[in-house]
């Protein structure tokens, strides 16, 4: 079952052809800043099965790993859409907050828990990964 979502203003739409029965929370500084919150929620989707339409802008930055990460945003409202890095291979991370149906998809992994805000506890049943897996 594909997932369909959009940015805040609705000008940028995202369609994932793949099904995602689980999602990831990331507590890294970059994800916090792009989400404007304490973490971001994501899935890794095959690039070939992602369709993003509408105005987008990209911003590239070197991550703590040394890899370049390219962040994709709506060019109108600034909603975070996706991020890509060589570490993901043929996949890209898609921010799931833009998809209403992901509210019902379980979170199975938390990344960068070493950077989790102290007021937030671990998600019950989710793997706790200190940083990015190698």
70: domain CATH number is 2.170.150.70
CA distance 46 to 62: 22
Q: How confident is the model at residue 9 (pLDDT cuts 50, 70, 90)?
A: very high
What predicted TM-score, i.e. pTM, was given to this entire model?
0.91
Residue 118: inside a domain, yes or no? yes
3 state SS of 114: helix
Residue 71: inside a domain, yes or no? yes
Residue 134: inside a domain, yes or no? no
3 state SS of 15: strand
CA–CA distance from 122 to each of 25, 39, 95, 126 (Å)? 10, 12, 20, 8
Question: What does the pLDDT look like over 40-51, one tens digit per residue?
Answer: 999 999 999 999
The DSSP output letter for 106 is P
Domain that holds residue 92: 3-128
At residue 2, the pLDDT reads: 85
Residue 105: inside a domain, yes or no? yes
Question: What does the pLDDT look like over 74-88, one tens digit per residue?
Answer: 999 999 999 999 989
- Average pLDDT score over residue span 102-123: 96
Residue 29: inside a domain, yes or no? yes
The DSSP output letter for 123 is P
Q: For residue 134, is pLDDT > 90?
A: no
Residue 76: inside a domain, yes or no? yes
* Structural tokens at position 85: 């890095």
Residue 133: inside a domain, yes or no? no
Q: For residue 132, is pLDDT > 80?
A: no
Question: What does the pLDDT look like over 14-66, one tens digit per residue?
Answer: 999 999 999 999 999 989 999 999 999 999 999 999 999 999 999 999 987 78
Q: For residue 121, is pLDDT > 80?
A: yes
Into how many domains does the chain fold? 1
């Amino acid at each position: 079952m594909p997932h369909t979502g959009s940015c805040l203003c609705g000008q940028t739409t995202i369609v994932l052809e793949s099904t995602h029965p689980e999602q990831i929370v990331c507590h890294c500084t970059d994800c916090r800043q792009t989400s404007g919150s304490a973490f971001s929620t994501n899935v890794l989707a095959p690039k070939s099965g992602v369709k993003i339409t509408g105005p987008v802008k990209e911003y590239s930055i070197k991550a703590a790993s040394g890899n370049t990460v390219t962040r994709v945003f709506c060019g109108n409202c600034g909603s975070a859409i996706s991020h890509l890095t060589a570490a993901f291979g043929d996949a890209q991370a898609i921010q799931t907050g833009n998809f209403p149906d992901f509210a019902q998809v379980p979170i199975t992994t938390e990344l960068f828990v070493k950077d989790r805000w102290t007021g937030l506890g671990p998600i019950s049943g989710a793997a706790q990964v200190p940083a990015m897996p190698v």
